[in-house]
Structure 1
């Protein structure tokens, strides 16, 4: 399963910290940010992804995320 989110993350060091937190919730997943994209894309590939958990992790760190359809 692949989920793609629009975010407002801009700094590479912040994206790395968020990736670490997401990896704690979804081990064995592949996660990356495309901070060059105008939507600051977060892409997660895993067996199962809870959109609610991802959005909550970003929110708790002061960021916004929404699922791109």
Structure 2
């Protein structure tokens, strides 16, 4: 599955903070942030994680996160 989220992540420092959390919680996935996009996109490709778990993970770490619909 590929999930695309709008986030409140705005700085590389935020990504550095989230990197170990994402790697630990969703170890077998490909992910990236696009901070040049107005929605500060998080794109995750995974077979295991569910969108609700990803949203909760970011919220637990102080960031807003919502899935963008097709």
How many residues align? The count is 69
* Distance apart, 1:13 and its partner CA: 1.8
TM-score calculated relative to the size of structure 1: 0.88
* Distance apart, 1:62 and its partner CA: 1.3
* Distance apart, 1:49 and its partner CA: 2.6
> What is the aligned partner in structure 1 of residue 65 from structure 2?
65
Range with bigger deviation, 38-47 or 19-28: 19-28
Give the ranges of 4+ consecutive aligned residues of structure 1 lying more than 4 Å apart after TM superposition. Answer: none
Confirm or deny: 8 A CA contact 1:8 1:64 kept in the other structure: yes
Separation in structure 1 between the aligned mates of residue 53 and residue 20 of structure 2, nearest angstrom: 14
TM-score calculated relative to the size of structure 2: 0.87
Q: Cα deviations across residues 16-51 of structure 1 (Å, max 9, x unaligned)? A: 321321221211211100011000000001113311
RMSD over aligned Cα atoms:
1.2
Q: Write out aligned runs for 1:1-69 (5 A).
A: 1-69=1-69
